[in-house]
Amino acid sequence: MADIQLRSISKRFGDVEVIPDLDLSMPDGKVTVLLGPSGCGKSTLLRMIAGLETPSGGEIRIDGKLMNEVPPADRGCALVFQNYALYPHKTVRHNLSFPLRMAKVGKAEQEKAVQEIAHKLELTALLDRYPRQLSGGQRQRVAMGRAMIRQPGVFLYDEPLSNLDLELRVRLRLEIARMQRALQATAVYVTHDQTEAMTLADQIVVLRKGRIEQVGAPLELYRAPANLFVAGFIGTPRINLFPVQGMQASGSGGTRLSLGADTHLDVPRTLPAELRTVGFRPEQARLGEAGPGQVQLELQGCETQAVEHLGDRAFCYLRCTLGELVVLSPSAEARLSGTLRLAIAADALRYFDSSEQAIG
Ligand SMILES: Nc1ncnc2c1ncn2[C@@H]1O[C@H](COP(=O)(O)OP(=O)(O)O)[C@@H](O)[C@H]1O
Ligand SMILES: [Mg+2]
């Protein structure tokens, strides 16, 4: 068990500054997900925690102890990478026990640990097989078991599921979530996949170009994104965003936002002059007339571009005179066209200013 603290961490490769200056706390026993687009510095951060990369500046502490000079093997971290390399000529049992043999742990104790891990990961029946006799998912579990067997204080995952097919990815994602809850070990999990982040994280750290955009619980980020980047990165399908062309006060403390030639949105609140963008998530709007607490948005010239059927409902990808958007509609009416009236919960609207920050 261990918390991880990064203080003023920076990293440059030659002239290239990958992490300018970053502070982050990763709490004990929780899963912290580092989420961001490819190249934003996620793996670099993880590798610095593991000791595989040296920070250019700043401090890394695990369980309060300064780690900067501590070699990787002595940091109490287990690594699970995308390309899990099992020993092809060793059985599952010997792959699992390998770290213990290296640490000169006694035979009986080794076997006990192997049995425990195999039970946890449902590998008991496979202990005498060789890696080539396993499915991709089973191999992944063996690799995770091998990382777990020395009972590390910290698990570090670098996109461990990204090479797998969708079905397996979904299954292992739940498996890792279950395992992490059972182990209650501190984990740092790197991914560019927001669904993975939303499923696994206690805390999500959204990164962009080596900087933290927002830190929070999954639903905090979903409900209250701090800026346009986070709003666009969290949630699927993506949040609908419209530029605000103009605004004027409308009686009783409301504001009329102009979104296009003939399109406006009457919102029941005042907004600062810096307002530039208004947004709402597809699942927060429905077709029909606005009731109490809702606002009406009339879209013209709608054409359906694509439909994603969910069974009882469908996400409908539309183009209208304002641009593109996605709405949730009953499956039967999935191909929408012409003029559409949307009712949107007023408190689900998100507003962003000229520097792309959320307006509270
Ligand atoms: N050893 C290295 N030498 C030079 N540049 C590197 C090295 N490792 C990573 N980078 C650069 O640092 C940036 C962040 O990389 P990385 O941490 O791997 O991103 P991510 O894991 O988020 O995709 C990228 O622009 C990458 O090209
Ligand atoms: Mg990476």
**Alpha-carbon gap, residue 251 to 21, rounded angstroms:** 47
- Identify which of 13, 189, 206, 207 to mutate to test ligand 1's pocket (most ligand atoms within 8 A of the CB): 13
Could you state, in order of their start, the residue ranges of all structural domains in the chain? 4-227, 240-359
pLDDT values of the chain reduced to their tens digit, one per residue, 360 residues = 699 999 999 999 999 999 999 999 999 999 999 999 999 999 999 999 999 999 999 999 999 999 999 999 899 898 877 666 799 999 999 999 998 998 899 999 999 999 999 998 889 999 999 999 998 778 878 988 898 888 888 999 999 888 777 887 888 888 788 878 877 889 999 999 999 999 999 999 999 999 999 999 999 999 999 999 999 999 999 999 999 999 999 878 899 999 988 899 999 999 999 999 999 999 999 999 999 999 999 999 999 999 999 888 999 999 999 999 999 988 777 788 999 999 999 999 999 999 999 998
13 ligand 1 Cβ < 6 A: yes
- Contact between residue 299 and residue 241 where contact means Cβ atoms under 8 Å apart: no
Q: How far is CA 9 from CA 55, 68, 211, 258, 274, in A?
A: 7, 11, 11, 44, 33
Three-class secondary structure assignment of the chain: CCCEEEEEEEEEECCEEEEEEEEEEECCCCEEEEECCCCCCHHHHHHHHHCCCCCCEEEEEECCEECCCCCHHHCCEEEECCCCCCCCCCCHHHHHHHHHHHCCCCHHHHHHHHHHHHHHCCCHHHCCCCHHHCCHHHHHHHHHHHHHCCCCCEEEEECCCCCCCHHHHHHHHHHHHHHHHHHCCEEEEEECCHHHHHHHCCEEEEEECCEEEEEECHHHHHHCCCEHHHHHHCCCCCCEEEECCEEEEECCCEEEEEEECCEEEEECCCCCCCEEEEEECHHHEEECCCCCCEEEEEEEEEEEEEEEECCCEEEEEEEECCEEEEEEEEHHHCCCEEEEEEEEEHHHCEEEECCCEEEC
Q: Which amino acid is at 316?
A: C
Q: Which residue CA neighbors atom 24 of ligand 1 most closely?
A: 39
* Ligand 2 center from residue 95 Cα (angstroms): 25
* Ligand 2 center from residue 18 Cα (angstroms): 12
Q: What angle do CA 60, 61, 65 make, to 5 degrees?
A: 135
- Residue 90 has a CB neighbour count (10 Å cut-off) of 14
Q: Which atom of ligand 1 is nearest to the CA of 158?
A: 21
**Alpha-carbon gap, residue 185 to 190, rounded angstroms:** 16
pTM (predicted TM-score):
0.90
- Looking at 3.40.1710.10, 2.40.100.20, 3.40.50.300, 3.40.50.720, the CATH number of the domain 4-227 comes to 3.40.50.300
Tell me the pLDDT tens digit for each residue of 52-70. Answer: 999 999 999 999 999 999 9
> Of the bound ligands, which one is closest to the alpha carbon of residue 158?
2
Tell me the pLDDT tens digit for each residue of 304-343. Answer: 999 999 888 999 999 999 999 999 988 777 788 999 999 9
- Contact between residue 123 and residue 138 where contact means Cβ atoms under 8 Å apart: yes
Q: Indicate if the alpha-carbon torsion angle 151, 153, 156, 161 is positive or negative.
A: positive
